[in-house]
Structure 1
Amino acid sequence: MVVWVMVLVLIVIGFTTPAGAVNEGKGPKVNVNKILKGMTLEEKVGQMMMVGFEGSEPTEDIRRLLTEAQAGNVILFSYSDNVVTPEQTARLTNGLQKIASTTRLGLPLIISTDQEGGVVARMTTGATELPGNMALGAGRKSADAQRAAQLTAKELKAVGINMNLAPVLDVNVNPDNPVIGVRSYGENPKLVADLGAKAVKGYQKSRVIATAKHFPGHGDTDVDSHLGLPVIDKSKEEMQEVELLPFQRVIDEGIDAIMTAHIHVPALDDTPELPATLSKPILTGLLREEMGYEGLIITDSMTMAGVADYFGGVPQAAVKAVDAGTDIILLTPSLTADEQIEVADTVVEAVRSGELSEKRIDRSVRRILKLKKKYGLFTDRQVDVDQVKERVGTPEHQQIAQKLADCSITLVKNKNNLLPLQLEKEQKLGIISPYSIQDHVQKYHANTSEMHIQPANPSDEQIQEAVEMAKQQDVLLVGTQSASQYSGQVKLVRALEKLGKPIVVVAFRNPYDIQDFPQVDAYLNAYGFRSVSLKSAVDTLFGGNPPQGKLPVTIPGQYEYGHGLTY
Structure 2
Amino acid sequence: MGIRRSVALWMIGSLVLSLFSFPVFAAQSDRTSDPVSLLKQMSLEEKVGQMMMVGFYGSEPNADITRLIREAHAGGVILFAYSQNVVNPVQTAHLTNGLQSLAQETRLGVPLLISTDQEGGVVARLTTGATEWAGNMALGATRKAAYAYQAAKMTGEELRAVGINMNLAPDLDVNVNPANPVIGVRSYGENPQLVADMGAAAIHGYQENVIATGKHFPGHGDTNVDSHLGLPVINKSREELEKVELVPFKRAIAEGIDAIMTAHIHVPALDNTPDLPATLSRPILTGLLRQELGYRGLIITDSMTMAGVANYFGGVPKAAVKAVQAGADIILLTPALKTDEQIEVYQAVLEAARKGEIPVEQIDQSVLRILKVKAKYGLFEHRFVDPADIPDHVATEQHQRTSMKIARSSITLVKNENNLLPLHLKPDQKLGIISQFSLIDRVRSYHAATTEIYHSQVNPSDADIQAAVEMAKTQDVLLVGTYNATANPQQVKLVKALQQLHKPMVVIAFRNPYDIEAFPDVPAYLTAYGFRSVSLQAAVETVFGDNQPKGRLPITIPGLYPYGHGLRYDWNDTDATSDQLSTSQMDANGSKEDRLQELDSSK
Aligned residue runs from structure 1 range 209-224, under 5 A: 209-224=211-226
Of the three residues 340, 343, 355, the one matched with 1:341 is: 343
Please tell me whether residue 489 in structure 1 is matched to residue 491 in structure 2.
yes
Q: What do residues 249-275 of structure 1 show as CA deviations (whole Å, max 9, x unaligned)?
A: 010111100000000000000000000
* Structure 2 residue ranges without an equivalent (≥5): 1-27, 570-603
* CA distance in structure 2 between the aligned counterparts of 1:88 and 1:31, rounded to whole angstroms: 32
Aligned residue runs from structure 1 range 124-135, under 5 A: 124-135=127-138
Alignment-derived partner of residue 587 in structure 2: none
* CA distance in structure 2 between the aligned counterparts of 1:31 and 1:537, rounded to whole angstroms: 51
Q: Is the 8 A contact 2:214 2:257 kept in 1?
A: yes
Alignment-derived partner of residue 421 in structure 2: 419
Aligned residue runs from structure 1 range 319-398, under 5 A: 319-398=321-400
Please tell me whether residue 94 in structure 1 is matched to residue 63 in structure 2.
no
Aligned residue runs from structure 1 range 61-210, under 5 A: 61-204=64-207, 206-210=208-212
**Bigger Cα displacement from structure 2, 451-460 vs 555-564:** 451-460
Aligned residue runs from structure 1 range 294-309, under 5 A: 294-309=296-311
Q: For 2:151, give the aligned amino acid.
A: A
Q: Secondary structure at the match of 1:550?
A: coil
Please tell me whether residue 234 in structure 1 is matched to residue 231 in structure 2.
no
Q: Is the 8 A contact 2:161 2:394 kept in 1?
A: yes
Alignment-derived partner of residue 599 in structure 2: none
Q: Is the 8 A contact 1:87 1:389 kept in 2?
A: no
Of the three residues 399, 402, 422, the one matched with 1:400 is: 402
Q: Is the 8 A contact 1:133 1:185 kept in 2?
A: yes
Say what the alpha-carbon RMSD is for the aligned residues: 0.7
Q: For 1:184, give the aligned amino acid.
A: S
Q: Is the 8 A contact 1:455 1:480 kept in 2?
A: no
TM-score by length of 2: 0.89
Alignment-derived partner of residue 316 in structure 2: 314
Runs in 1 of length 4+ with deviation above 4 angstroms?
none
* CA distance in structure 1 between the aligned counterparts of 2:255 and 2:167, rounded to whole angstroms: 18
Alignment-derived partner of residue 552 in structure 1: 554
1:355 offset after TM fit, Å? 1.2
* CA distance in structure 1 between the aligned counterparts of 2:129 and 2:35, rounded to whole angstroms: 38
Of the three residues 508, 516, 520, the one matched with 1:506 is: 508
Q: For 1:188, give the aligned amino acid.
A: N
Q: Is the 8 A contact 1:51 1:330 kept in 2?
A: yes
Structure 2 CA distance for partners of 1:366 and 1:486, relative to 1, 3 Å: same
1:390 offset after TM fit, Å? 2.7
Q: For 2:92, give the aligned amino acid.
A: T
Aligned residue runs from structure 1 range 434-513, under 5 A: 434-513=436-515
Of the three residues 14, 39, 46, the one matched with 2:42 is: 39
Q: For 2:216, give the aligned amino acid.
A: H
* CA distance in structure 1 between the aligned counterparts of 2:29 and 2:309, rounded to whole angstroms: 41
* CA distance in structure 1 between the aligned counterparts of 2:289 and 2:401, rounded to whole angstroms: 39
Q: Secondary structure at the match of 1:478?
A: strand
Q: For 1:397, give the aligned amino acid.
A: H
Q: Secondary structure at the match of 1:196?
A: helix
Q: What do residues 334-357 of structure 1 show as CA deviations (whole Å, max 9, x unaligned)?
A: 111111011000001111122111
Alignment-derived partner of residue 4 in structure 1: none
Q: Secondary structure at the match of 2:212?
A: strand
Q: Secondary structure at the match of 1:208?
A: coil
* CA distance in structure 2 between the aligned counterparts of 1:46 and 1:515, rounded to whole angstroms: 49
* CA distance in structure 2 between the aligned counterparts of 1:561 and 1:207, rounded to whole angstroms: 34
* CA distance in structure 1 between the aligned counterparts of 2:44 and 2:346, rounded to whole angstroms: 11
Aligned residue runs from structure 1 range 14-53, under 5 A: 15=29, 17=31, 28=32, 30-53=33-56
Q: What do residues 147-203 of structure 1 show as CA deviations (whole Å, max 9, x unaligned)?
A: 000010010011000000000000000000000000000000000000000000001
1:455 offset after TM fit, Å? 4.2
TM-score by length of 1: 0.95
Q: For 1:376, give the aligned amino acid.
A: G
Q: Secondary structure at the match of 1:115?
A: coil
Q: For 2:145, give the aligned amino acid.
A: S
1:439 offset after TM fit, Å? 1.2
1:234 offset after TM fit, Å? 0.1
Q: Secondary structure at the match of 1:117?
A: coil
* CA distance in structure 2 between the aligned counterparts of 1:448 and 1:457, rounded to whole angstroms: 24
Q: Is the 8 A contact 1:455 1:481 kept in 2?
A: no
* CA distance in structure 1 between the aligned counterparts of 2:196 and 2:457, rounded to whole angstroms: 31
Q: Is the 8 A contact 2:139 2:148 kept in 1?
A: yes
Q: Is the 8 A contact 2:174 2:244 kept in 1?
A: yes
* CA distance in structure 2 between the aligned counterparts of 1:134 and 1:396, rounded to whole angstroms: 22
* CA distance in structure 1 between the aligned counterparts of 2:432 and 2:101, rounded to whole angstroms: 54
Q: Is the 8 A contact 2:29 2:381 kept in 1?
A: no
1:456 offset after TM fit, Å? 1.3
1:33 offset after TM fit, Å? 1.5
Identity of aligned residues (%): 69
* CA distance in structure 2 between the aligned counterparts of 1:461 and 1:412, rounded to whole angstroms: 30
Q: Is the 8 A contact 2:30 2:380 kept in 1?
A: no
* CA distance in structure 2 between the aligned counterparts of 1:256 and 1:389, rounded to whole angstroms: 28
Q: Is the 8 A contact 2:286 2:326 kept in 1?
A: yes
Q: Is the 8 A contact 1:478 1:503 kept in 2?
A: yes
Alignment-derived partner of residue 576 in structure 2: none
1:38 offset after TM fit, Å? 1.1
**Bigger Cα displacement from structure 2, 257-266 vs 392-401:** 392-401
* CA distance in structure 1 between the aligned counterparts of 2:90 and 2:388, rounded to whole angstroms: 8
Q: Secondary structure at the match of 1:477?
A: strand
* CA distance in structure 2 between the aligned counterparts of 1:454 and 1:130, rounded to whole angstroms: 22
1:442 offset after TM fit, Å? 1.1
1:389 offset after TM fit, Å? 2.3
* CA distance in structure 2 between the aligned counterparts of 1:100 and 1:32, rounded to whole angstroms: 16
Of the three residues 251, 265, 268, the one matched with 1:266 is: 268
* CA distance in structure 1 between the aligned counterparts of 2:355 and 2:379, rounded to whole angstroms: 33
The number of residue pairs the alignment matches comes to 542
Q: What do residues 384-428 of structure 1 show as CA deviations (whole Å, max 9, x unaligned)?
A: 111112321122211110001000000000000000000000000
* CA distance in structure 2 between the aligned counterparts of 1:185 and 1:353, rounded to whole angstroms: 44
1:440 offset after TM fit, Å? 1.1
* CA distance in structure 2 between the aligned counterparts of 1:203 and 1:162, rounded to whole angstroms: 10
Q: Is the 8 A contact 1:427 1:474 kept in 2?
A: yes
Q: Secondary structure at the match of 1:209?
A: coil
* CA distance in structure 1 between the aligned counterparts of 2:30 and 2:206, rounded to whole angstroms: 29
Q: Is the 8 A contact 1:127 1:392 kept in 2?
A: yes
Alignment-derived partner of residue 22 in structure 1: none
**More relative contact order in 1 or in 2 (CA 8 Å, sep 6+)?**
2
* CA distance in structure 1 between the aligned counterparts of 2:118 and 2:275, rounded to whole angstroms: 30
Q: Is the 8 A contact 1:409 1:547 kept in 2?
A: yes
Q: Is the 8 A contact 1:302 1:308 kept in 2?
A: yes
